[in-house]
Homo-oligomer: A and B are copies of this chain.
Amino acid sequence: MAGNSFGNLFKLTTFGESHGVAIGGIIDGCPPGIELDLEAIQVEMNRRKPGQSNIVTQRKEPDEVKFLSGIFEGVTTGTPIGFVIENSNQKSHDYSHIKDSYRPSHADYVYEKKYGLRDYRGGGRSSARETASRVVAGAIAKQVLKNVKINAFTSSVGDIFIDKPYQDLDFSKIESNDVRCPDSAIAEKMITRIKDIRKEGDTIGGTVTCVLQNVPIGLGEPVFDKLHAELGKAMLSINAVKGFEFGSGFCGAKMKGSEHNDLFNIDGSTKTNLSGGIQGGISNGMDIYFRVAFKPVATLIQKYETINRAGEIVEMQGKGRHDPCVVPRAVPIVEAMAALVLADYLLINKTYS
């Protein structure tokens, strides 16, 4: 209930605060007999970790995963996979100035109201540091999914966006630039924009698009657990996300049925794919694609007024090492959450056969 678990049969539970001893989690329900490629897991971790390029936060964390159980001689055993990631570079003195004050558009105020107290160091549990555990589990889920291809990329930063359908993009170029945009020309502009924003001490929002290919037909549970509903929840649970749309999305709301319907080919595939690979909550074998909106990071390196616990106005000066734009580092997190949903629904589907 307390919101620290995700999934039904392939289930991740995470723990850990931004500036505690360590973060980590338990993956319960991973099928036995999977030879894990541990290096591939670390590659995903490196895509998410801070300090990886000069357009992300300069906090330095090696983000090395240590597996404690559930793997024997390199193979999953079917027992829970416990793992920890140490918080080596905690710098909690950076945060003493926010001990009694509430940063605007952060979770400081609501955590304190909800729980009666809060671990104020670096956002505590509300910090995006928690997403490192998701990436570990997602990387394992990807290995469970085998042939399914999961590609997320930065589709916009501020008002700079890719103006092509995803089919015209070369996903192999996603990792070729720091912003994780497969269109090199647009990537260039995005990077410039992020650098400019950082100089201003400001931040900027953006969107991530994700494409899931080779998903088997039949994943997704009617009624409440439609595949896209769970994908939506997964994405909306990522820090800073404000919106989710799949297939035709918000544009679909402007269309007529005669324009929107996807007619069948005789093999069951469809001529168009405005449905986004999901019908009635169930995958239909076509590409699943969706878009996720991220707001600009709330921590600015600027002076501003806010309030403290006593209800007084105080002046604050943003410090610490923060991302000017969260989107490039969000790309692997979006993929991880998508992988968790698919692995979970794949296991659910096995119970019908």
Q: Hey, which bits of chain A sit against chain B, CB under 8 A?
A: 1-6, 8-9, 11, 13-17, 20-26, 28-29, 31-33, 66-70, 72, 75, 77-82, 84, 102, 104-107, 109-111, 113-119, 124-126, 130, 156, 158-159, 197, 200, 202-207, 217-218, 220-226, 228-230, 232-234, 236-237, 239, 242-250, 252-268, 270, 274-276, 279-284, 293-300, 302, 304-307, 311-313, 347-353
A46 CB, nearest partner CB in chain B, Å: 22
A131 CB, nearest partner CB in chain B, Å: 9
Q: How far is the CA of A78 from the CA of B307 in the complex (A)?
A: 24
A sample of 7 more A-B contacts (CB under 8 A), given A1-B348, A69-B125, is A9-B351, A79-B222, A105-B261, A205-B255, A229-B233, A249-B293, A253-B295
Question: A111 to chain B: which residues have CB within 8 Å?
Answer: 222, 280, 282
A232 CB, nearest partner CB in chain B, Å: 4
A70, A249, A257 — which one has the most chain B CB atoms within 10 A of its CB? A257
Q: Which 10 A-B pairs have the closest CB atoms?
A: A107-B280, A3-B221, A243-B245, A15-B82, A3-B225, A203-B257, A233-B233, A257-B296, A110-B282, A114-B218
> What's the number of copies of this chain in the assembled complex?
4
Nearest neighbor of A201 in chain B, beta-carbon distance: B258
Question: A233 to chain B: which residues have CB within 8 Å?
Answer: 224, 229-230, 232-233, 236
Q: How far is the CA of A200 from the CA of B245 in the complex (A)?
A: 28
Question: Are B104 and A270 neighbours in the complex by a CB distance under 8 Å?
Answer: yes
A228 CB, nearest partner CB in chain B, Å: 6
Question: A300 to chain B: which residues have CB within 8 Å?
Answer: 257-258, 261
A22 CB, nearest partner CB in chain B, Å: 5
Nearest neighbor of A311 in chain B, beta-carbon distance: B266
Beyond A202-B258, A260-B205, A282-B110, whether A226 also contacts B3 by CB under 8 A is: yes
Contact of A79 (CB < 8 Å), options: B17, B78, B197, B302: B17
Question: Are A80 and B255 neighbours in the complex by a CB distance under 8 Å?
Answer: no
Question: A21 to chain B: which residues have CB within 8 Å?
Answer: 66-69
Question: A302 to chain B: which residues have CB within 8 Å?
Answer: 258
Nearest neighbor of A268 in chain B, beta-carbon distance: B109
16 of the cross-chain contacts (CB-CB < 8 Å) are A1-B11, A1-B221, A1-B225, A15-B26, A15-B81, A22-B82, A104-B270, A105-B260, A105-B274, A110-B280, A114-B218, A156-B253, A207-B250, A243-B244, A266-B311, A274-B295
Beyond A3-B221, A3-B225, A115-B33, whether A79 also contacts B15 by CB under 8 A is: yes
Question: A80 to chain B: which residues have CB within 8 Å?
Answer: 2, 4, 13-16
Question: Are A130 and B237 neighbours in the complex by a CB distance under 8 Å?
Answer: no
Nearest neighbor of A310 in chain B, beta-carbon distance: B266
Question: A17 to chain B: which residues have CB within 8 Å?
Answer: 69-70, 72, 77, 79
Question: A230 to chain B: which residues have CB within 8 Å?
Answer: 233
Beyond A68-B22, A107-B279, A222-B126, whether A253 also contacts B243 by CB under 8 A is: yes
Question: Are A159 and B293 neighbours in the complex by a CB distance under 8 Å?
Answer: no
Q: How far is the CA of A17 from the CA of B71 in the complex (A)?
A: 10
Question: Are A352 and B24 neighbours in the complex by a CB distance under 8 Å?
Answer: no
Contact of A295 (CB < 8 Å), options: B218, B242, B248, B304: B248
Question: A13 to chain B: which residues have CB within 8 Å?
Answer: 5, 13, 26, 28, 80
